[in-house]
Amino acid sequence: MAIIKLETWEYEYASHIGIRRFTANWDKEDAEHYQHEERKEDDRTAQVAAAIGELAVAKLVNQYWHATIWSAEKHNQFKKLPDVGTNIEVRRVRTQDAVCIRQKDTGRGLIVFAVRPIEKEFMEVEVFGFINADTGYEMGEQRDYGRVVPLDMLRKDFVWFEEVTL
């Protein structure tokens, strides 16, 4: 696992992107798999944490973070755009020790990173590891919302990331 410490300006920028994503979708209803009130976190916090996680992975692997914001009406136009670089999806791990891989992630050459912004302020982010989306989906345990891969099954060789063929 790697701990990524954000600079103040990185924290401010990622938080700004998270808030902008939140306000761009104020009137949008949650997807079915997010409608379990007993497990749900407020969307403002979730969006900020997600953006912070994306920036942390971009910083770790030295890849571009586009920080895109779009409204629900434009979701279909941008939904296949990876979070970081040309092929990295970042998934926040909040309540379980596993990362979710969805079928829609497969067949696209995606690499999925698992992160946990450290509460309360999210100034540091735990990056647990990464896995090829196809491999993760094959080996994951089926749940209602996708397949989950335990964090201890993820690759952690971040130093070699740019040289690794996945």
pLDDT for 39: 61
Structure tokens at 20: 């902008």
Nearest Cα residue to 99 out of 52, 42, 140: 140
pLDDT for 37: 61
* Average pLDDT rounded to a whole number, residues 133-161: 90
pLDDT digits 0-9 by tens, 30-62:
555 555 566 678 889 999 999 999 999 999 999
Residue 17: CB partners within 8 Å, gap ≥ 6? 51, 67, 69
110 bridge partner residues:
none
Position 163 confidence tier, pLDDT thresholds 50, 70, 90? very low
Q: How far apart are CA 48 and CA 60, in angstroms?
A: 18
pLDDT at 26 over 80: yes
In this prediction the pTM is: 0.89
3-state secondary structure 119-138: CCCCCEEEEEEEEEHHHHHH
